[in-house]
Amino acid sequence: MAARRSDIVFAALILAAMYFAWLLRDVLLLIYVAALFAVVLSPGIDLIRRLRVGRWRPGRGVAVVVLVAGVLLVVALVLLVIVPPIHSEGQSLVAEWPRYAAQISSRLDRVSPGLRVDPQQIQQHASELAGGALGLVRSVAVGVFAAFTFLILTIYFIFDGRHVFDWALSLVPPASRPRLAAALERANARMSRWLLGQLALMISLGIFSTLTFGLLHVKYFFALGVFAGVMNVVPIVGPIISFVLAGTVALTDSWVKLVGVAAFYVVYQQFESGFLTPRIMKHTVDLPPLAVIVALIAGGQLAGVLGALIAVPTAALAAVLINEYLVRREDAPRPPST
């Protein structure tokens, strides 16, 4: 009777924990993403700590400061190079948008009479989607707060990640800890290489799109190419958004440029999905292409853009645990036959 009561209490506690986890899913997702990025940045910390100046070697705190300062310096240099032309081209695009919208409306009307684009309606729909000025300010404030919280959590996990790791292992029976620790260390090695693969894909699309838009003489080709590279960090959705923007700008000149932009995206996406991504992800997180595609779809469905962003490293973690605990190897001891 007492055993049944304890089982009922335990089941009730599990259900309550699952309910509260669902209520706090946004917070838990933010914590998980921060921990994930701490893992991704850990090789850079280890590399800095291996540097030696005479007899002095930097500690973890100094390594974190050097890494953050280096990242900020690189970002500042990149912004100094690309922001001025992007800002100039962006202002021109905004100023000329009513004329471009009228040109697009005229071209569409030639193809299908009555199919027109009203710039005022577009602006009205955009305002409605943004939720008005107050909603936009509120969204920006929430985004800034979330970014600051994410940064603090990531730094905390970098500094104190080992203690968190040891505490999590303490929840596992002592006999199972060495095996789980070894599996998680292997997953850590695979997940930490994901950022390199993602950066390679972003740079590749940014370079190819900028060159292609420039050869097609698309207006604001530099800004559009940089935007395409940055948006490639968002799987599936990012390239679609960058194509819509680039195609709209190309359509203001001619149908030929629109066809050229569309052809580029079709060819490049086939090249990226069929050649680049499988090889880059194979050498970084060691995942087959099918697993990458399934992970992206599942992550996007569960947590939207953020879920799709972290889907691949999460799949790498799951693959290591599945291979360790569920896959039965040929050399594994078999139970005696009866």
Closest CA to 325 of 168, 172, 183, 170: 183
Say if residues 220 and 234 touch (Cβ distance below 8 Å): no
Q: Residue 153 to residues 156, 185, 255, 272, 312: CA-CA distances in angstroms?
A: 5, 21, 49, 33, 21
User: What are the extents of the domains in the chain?
Assistant: 24-171
Chain position carrying tokens 């929430």: 142
Q: Residue 90 to residues 210, 226, 227, 265, 330: CA-CA distances in angstroms?
A: 15, 12, 11, 22, 60
Each residue's pLDDT, cut to its tens digit, for the chain (338 residues) gives 556 777 677 778 888 888 888 888 778 888 888 888 888 777 777 788 888 777 787 877 788 788 878 877 877 776 676 666 666 666 666 666 666 666 666 666 665 555 455 555 555 554 554 444 445 455 556 666 777 788 788 888 887 777 888 888 888 888 888 888 888 888 888 887 887 888 888 899 999 999 999 999 988 888 888 888 888 877 677 888 889 888 888 887 788 888 999 999 999 988 887 788 777 877 778 887 778 778 877 887 887 777 877 888 888 888 888 888 887 655 555 555 44
Provide the pLDDT for residue 68. Answer: 77
pTM above 0.75, yes or no: no
Chain centroid offset of residue 7 CA: 41
- The pair of structure tokens assigned to 67 is 């890494």
Report which DSSP code applies to 24. Answer: T
Say if residues 296 and 312 touch (Cβ distance below 8 Å): yes
